[in-house]
Each structure stands twice: as structure tokens, then as C-alpha cells.
Amino acid sequence: MDIRSSMAAQGYAATRPATQPKAALGGQGAGDAFAKAAGSFAQSLQQTEDIAKATMAGGADPTSLVQALAQTELAIETAVTVRDKVVEAYQEILRMPV
């Protein structure tokens, strides 16, 4: 069987689109979605800090501070859960035989 390099290159070029990662729904890739989530997390922390400062200065009511703290707690718990899942997946990959 004679395989020429041009035939191999053509075969590779034909199958290359099938091996490229596909974007997630809405045209976003996984990196874009992660960046958006990280930005949202940082924004949530900043808003809570601003509300806490305003409450200490007397410019905001304590109810808004409690609501902001609850939202921040939920965001932190979500981030910790995602981190734990990533670490667990990484450890599972390390356990795979080569």
C-alpha cells in the first residue's frame, strides 16, 4: 500500500474541522464563560464591600447589608464547589493509567 504525503495531508485537512472544539451555546467558549463567571463573582464581592462601607457610614440600611452578605456567601460557596470539582477531576486524571 503506497501512501503519499500529499494524500496524508489532504486527509488531515479534511478531518481537522471535526477535531476543533465547538463553541458553547450562544457563541461563547468555555474560557469566555469562565471569565464572565469570574467577573460576576468579583463584582458581587465589590458590591457587598461598597454596601458594607455605606452601612458603617450610615448611608445604607442594615437590611441591604444582610441581603448583600447572603448573596456573597452564596457566590463564595459556589466558587468553592467549582474549585473542589476541578481539583477532583484533576486528581482523577492523575490516577488514570498511561
Enumerate residues 6+ apart whose C-beta is below 8 A from 30.
24
In a domain, 73, yes or no: yes
In a domain, 61, yes or no: yes
In a domain, 11, yes or no: no
Q: How many domains in the chain?
A: 1
- Are 48 and 76 in contact by the 8 Å Cβ rule? The answer is no
In a domain, 3, yes or no: no
d(CA 70, CA 90): 30
Q: Which domain holds residue 49?
A: 29-95
d(CA 3, CA 65): 71
In a domain, 90, yes or no: yes
In a domain, 85, yes or no: yes
Enumerate residues 6+ apart whose C-beta is below 8 A from 79.
41
In a domain, 66, yes or no: yes
pTM above 0.75, yes or no: no
pLDDT in tens, the chain (98 residues): 456 666 666 776 777 666 666 655 555 677 888 889 888 889 989 999 999 999 989 888 889 889 999 999 999 999 999 999 999 999 999 999 87
